[in-house]
């Protein structure tokens, strides 16, 4: 059945193997077997090729070819893989059937990748659309409330919850100015239960102004420009509820913060960063945060500058100069990311890239996605970062 | 079996095959199918790698610098060499030179040991430096500030770990065919296990051919 079986001694066997053509040395008789004996010479050549390619890929990986490094490395690896499969595994001399079988594995891996990758990498549009829907929602009903300057029990209750997460670290649970972080602060946080010491004032419009723009000349109280309008009013009424006898607003007071009581039109909604995020930064290092909070900022007063100050300043520093340590919450032990100067990042290359980075956030970095900006807002912030105006 | 004469007649193909050749090609096809399942298994990790690399390119390029290219290269060369010696072992067996086959198989086995020794050195460095997956990650190098850095090391340990496991299984298989070769069970008429273990070993090499650049070189 097998012609080789008679000569079991090596010499002629070997030469037979080495000299026969590619498919030649198969010792099949009935067309079923595909015994390909790889000649030593071929094996050595292929091996030499593999080593050369390995050296090439190591050397080229040290060159800076930009985006080409990766495809090149994969190209070389694939040639190596083909050499191994074709010659070492002799698929070249094997049946078509086996080739198809083996190749099918890669087809399925490609399908797997092909289904997952678009979902991960090209969902951006979906988020942008969602973001726009969100903008509409936010600037519509959700967080603006009619006549927010008038206290209601609901607003006070809502204010209480926000106060617990946002303010009690400094102002204390009962509003006595004795929160955990108060010790490190100078001046001390306001005691809401007494009448003395108010700089801006206790009227609703004044507390509102404090939250929105900070206390002029004082850096200790962070600016909460990022809260939604409704949240801000809720806090105002809660803070005022802590002590009786707080003065009420006159129409002129309300006019000062841009509200016409006769007309229900409320001021434009300010963008907001997520509560948890602001919170985490606060509890992490209140003193530092206070030092950075925007109220002592001399920068421009353009729309872009204001938005930047309320939403981005805390992580990106003075006009995007970076160097701020942002804590990462997800890993143990704690680690920080120091922000780079924004103008050095890729995202600043164009308005589009910038919009995408802000709306979607930067996955894996601590840059949060903030969907609440309108196209004009984004243009203003971008403009401010680029030109300082 | 062991004391049967060493010819193709020494191997009786199963009754449902037409001939020993028929049986051989069926066995080989089975091996290819098995390798397909292997590709699919390791393929999942490659897809994970591709996705995360796409999401966090900066992190990958920072983290990969913490792998030792020299050791990776050493292991690449060791594995390529072992593939060559495996091939020589198989072709010697195919030609009926069992002594030569045994020698090459032994060299292949030694290469595998060498590979694992280098792997051990690498792993112990990583453990020592706290370059570990997930919450065990304790390295504080400023280059590794990116919060997702532990993910790179999860992939690194998963991919190289599964590969190293295959190397260990391969060593068992090589030892097994060496024993059978020594007993004289193979001949030019019957060497199916030798060739199929060879396939398996080349596949182990194949996976490493991708792992090396992906993890050590281009991160």
For testing contact with chain A, the best of B7, B23, B32 (most A CBs within 10 A): B32
The alpha carbon of residue A309 is apart from the nearest alpha carbon of chain B, in Å, by: 25
pLDDT digits (tens, 9 = 90+) for B50-93: 988 888 887 888 889 899 999 999 999 999 999 999 999 999 99
Q: What is the pLDDT of residue B49?
A: 93
What does residue A343 show for φ and ψ, rounded to 5 degrees?
A: -65, -15
Residue A164, min C-alpha distance to chain B (Å): 28
**Within this chain, domains A142-270 and A276-387 share the same CATH topology:** yes
Tokens representing residue B36 in the block = 């397909």
Position of tokens 């390619």? Answer: A53
Q: Has the ipTM of the complex gone over 0.85?
A: yes
Mean pLDDT of the residues in chain A: 73
- Selected residue with higher pLDDT from A112 and A195: A112
Query: Is A364 an interface residue toward B (CB < 8 Å)?
Result: yes
Whether the pLDDT of residue A331 is over 80: the answer is: no
Tell me the CATH architecture of domain A276-387. Answer: Orthogonal Bundle (1.10)
Instruction: List pLDDT tens digits, range B96-135.
Output: 999 999 999 999 999 999 999 999 999 999 999 989 888 7
| pLDDT averaged over every residue in chain B | 89
Burial B189-211 (b: 16+ CB within 10 A, else e): bbbbbbbbbbbbbbbbbbbbbbb
Nearest to A2 among B8, B50, B87 (CB): B8
In sequence order, the β-bridge partners of residue B172 are none
pLDDT, position A21: 36
Contact B84 A43 (CB under 8 A): yes
Residue A214's contacts (CB-CB under 8 Å, 6 or more residues apart) are A221, A222, A223, A293, A294, A295
- Determine the distance in angstroms separating the CA of A5 from the nearest CA of chain B, rounded to an integer: 6
- Say whether the peptide bond before residue B125 is cis (omega within 30 degrees of 0): no
Strand bridging mode A335-338 / A325-328? antiparallel
* Contact criterion met (CB below 8 Å) for A218 and A198: no
Given an 8 Å threshold on Cβ–Cβ distance, is B148 in contact with A364? yes
Judged by a CB distance cut-off of 8 A, whether residue B187 touches chain A is yes
Name the band, by pLDDT with cuts 50, 70 and 90, for residue A363: low
Topology adopted by domain A142-270: Cytochrome Bc1 Complex; Chain D, domain 2 (1.10.760)
Between CA B20 and CA B9 the distance in angstroms is: 10
Range with the poorest average pLDDT among A9-23, A178-192, B16-30: A9-23
Q: Do A88 and B202 make contact, defined as CB atoms within 8 angstroms?
A: yes
Cβ contacts of residue B210 below 8 Å, gap of 6+? A77, A81, B46
* A290-329 confidence digits (pLDDT tens): 333 333 344 457 788 888 877 787 778 777 887 777 765 5
Distance CA(A150)–CA(A145), nearest Å, equals: 10
What pLDDT sits at residue A265?
A: 47
User: Cβ distance A381 to A308 under 8 Å?
Assistant: yes
- φ and ψ at residue A337, rounded to 5 degrees: -115, 130
- Is the per-residue pLDDT at A19 higher than 90? no
Q: Which of A29-33, A57-61, B40-44 has the lowest mean pLDDT?
A: A29-33
Q: Out of A70, A101, A117, name the one closest to residue B33 (CB).
A: A101
Which pLDDT band, with edges at 50, 70 and 90, does A14 fall under? very low
Main-chain dihedrals φ then ψ at residue A354, nearest 5 degrees: -60, -50
pLDDT over 80 (residue A286): no
Statement: the pTM of the whole predicted model exceeds 0.80: no
**Boundaries of every domain in chain A:** 2-122, 142-270, 276-387
Q: Does A58 sit within 8 Å of B69, measured CB to CB?
A: yes
**Residue whose token pair is 């595994």:** A89
Domain definitions of chain B by residue range: 20-218
A-chain residues within 8 Å CB-CB of B143? none
Beta bridge partners of A328: A335
CB contact under 8 A, B55 and A365: no
CA dist., res. B198 & res. B189, Å (int): 17
Do A120 and B148 make contact, defined as CB atoms within 8 angstroms?
no
A33 and B97 in contact by Cβ < 8 A? Answer: no
Radius of gyration of chain A (CA): 34
Helix then strand then coil, in percent of chain B rounded to 5, is 80, 0, 20
Q: Name the closest residue on chain A to residue B61, using Cα atoms.
A: A70
pLDDT at A126: 54
Q: Is B13 helix (H, G, I), strand (E, B) or coil?
A: coil
- B120 to chain A, closest Cα gap in Å: 22
pLDDT digits (tens, 9 = 90+) for B177-198: 999 999 999 988 889 999 999 9
Cβ distance B51 to A116 less than 8 Å, yes or no, reads yes
Alpha-carbon distances, residue A48 vs A83, A84, B81, B105 (angstroms): 11, 12, 10, 20
Structure tokens belonging to residue B145? 């500030």
Q: Do A363 and B56 make contact, defined as CB atoms within 8 angstroms?
A: yes
User: If you average pLDDT over residues A281-293, what whole number do you get?
Assistant: 37
pLDDT of residue B11: 67
CATH architecture of B20-218: Up-down Bundle (1.20)
Say yes or no for a CB contact (<8 Å) between B95 and A10. yes
Q: What pLDDT is stored for residue B144 in this prediction?
A: 79
| Cα A125 off chain centre by | 16
Residue B28 — φ and ψ, nearest 5°? Answer: -65, -40
Q: Pick the residue of A8, A27, A29 with the most B CBs within 10 A to test the interface with B by mutation.
A: A8
Q: Does residue B69 belong to the interface with chain A, where contact is any CB pair within 8 Å?
A: yes
């Amino acid at each position: 059945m097998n012609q080789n079986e008679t000569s079991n001694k090596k010499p002629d066997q070997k030469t037979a193997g080495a000299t026969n053509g590619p498919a030649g040395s198969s010792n099949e008789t009935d067309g079923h077997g595909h015994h390909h004996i790889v000649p030593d010479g071929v094996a050595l050549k292929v091996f030499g090729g593999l080593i050369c390619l390995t050296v090439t890929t190591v050397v080229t990986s040290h060159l800076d070819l930009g985006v080409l490094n990766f495809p090149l490395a994969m190209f070389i690896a694939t040639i190596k893989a083909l050499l191994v499969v074709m010659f070492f595994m002799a698929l070249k001399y094997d049946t078509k059937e086996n080739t198809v079988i083996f190749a099918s594995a890669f087809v399925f891996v490609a399908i797997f990748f092909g289904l997952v990758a678009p979902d991960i990498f090209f969902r951006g549009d979906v988020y942008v659309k969602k973001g726009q829907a969100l903008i509409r929602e936010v600037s519509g009903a959700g967080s603006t409330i009619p006549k927010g300057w008038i206290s209601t029990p609901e607003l006070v209750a809502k204010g209480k919850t926000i106060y617990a997460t946002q303010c009690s670290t400094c102002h204390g649970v009962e509003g006595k100015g004795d929160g955990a972080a108060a010790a490190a602060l100078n001046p001390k946080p306001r005691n809401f239960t007494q009448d003395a010491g108010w700089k801006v004032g206790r009227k609703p419009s004044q507390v509102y102004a404090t939250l929105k723009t900070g206390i002029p000349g004082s850096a200790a109280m962070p600016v909460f420009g990022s809260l939604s309008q409704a949240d801000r009013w809720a806090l105002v009424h809660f803070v005022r509820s802590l002590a009786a006898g707080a003065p009420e607003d006159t129409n002129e007071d309300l006019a000062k913060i841009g509200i016409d009581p006769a007309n229900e039109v409320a001021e434009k909604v300010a963008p907001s960063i997520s509560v948890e995020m602001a919170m985490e930064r606060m509890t992490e290092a209140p003193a530092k945060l206070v030092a950075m909070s925007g109220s002592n900022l001399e920068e421009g007063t353009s729309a872009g500058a204001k938005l930047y100050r309320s939403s981005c300043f805390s992580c990106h520093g003075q006009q995007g100069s970076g160097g701020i340590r942002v804590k990462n919450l997800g890993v143990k032990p704690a680690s920080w990311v120091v922000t780079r100067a924004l103008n050095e990042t890729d995202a600043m290359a164009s308005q589009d890239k910038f919009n995408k980075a802000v709306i979607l956030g930067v996955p894996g970095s601590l840059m949060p996605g903030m969907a609440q900006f309108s196209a004009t807002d984004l243009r203003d912030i971008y403009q401010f970062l680029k030109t300082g105006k | 079996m062991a004391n049967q004469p060493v010819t193709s007649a020494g191997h009786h193909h199963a009754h449902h095959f037409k001939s020993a050749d028929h049986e051989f090609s069926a066995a080989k096809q089975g091996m290819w199918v098995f390798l397909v399942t292997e590709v699919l298994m390791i393929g999942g990790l490659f897809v994970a790698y591709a996705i995360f690399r796409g999401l966090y390119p900066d992190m990958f390029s920072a983290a990969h610098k913490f792998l030792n290219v020299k050791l990776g290269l050493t292991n690449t060369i060791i594995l390529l060499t072992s593939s060559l010696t495996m091939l020589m072992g198989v072709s010697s067996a195919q030609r009926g030179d069992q002594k030569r086959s045994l020698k090459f198989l032994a060299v292949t086995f030694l290469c595998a040991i060498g590979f694992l020794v280098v792997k051990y050195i690498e792993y112990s460095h990583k453990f020592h430096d706290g370059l570990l997956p997930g919450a065990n990650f304790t390295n504080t190098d400023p280059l590794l500030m990116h919060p997702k850095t532990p993910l790179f090391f999860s992939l690194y340990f998963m991919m190289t770990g599964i590969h190293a496991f295959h190397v260990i299984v391969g060593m068992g298989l090589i030892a097994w065919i060496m024993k059978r070769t020594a007993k004289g069970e193979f001949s030019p008429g019957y060497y199916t296990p030798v060739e199929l273990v060879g396939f398996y070993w080349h596949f182990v090499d194949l996976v490493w051919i991708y792992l090396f650049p992906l993890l050590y070189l281009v991160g």
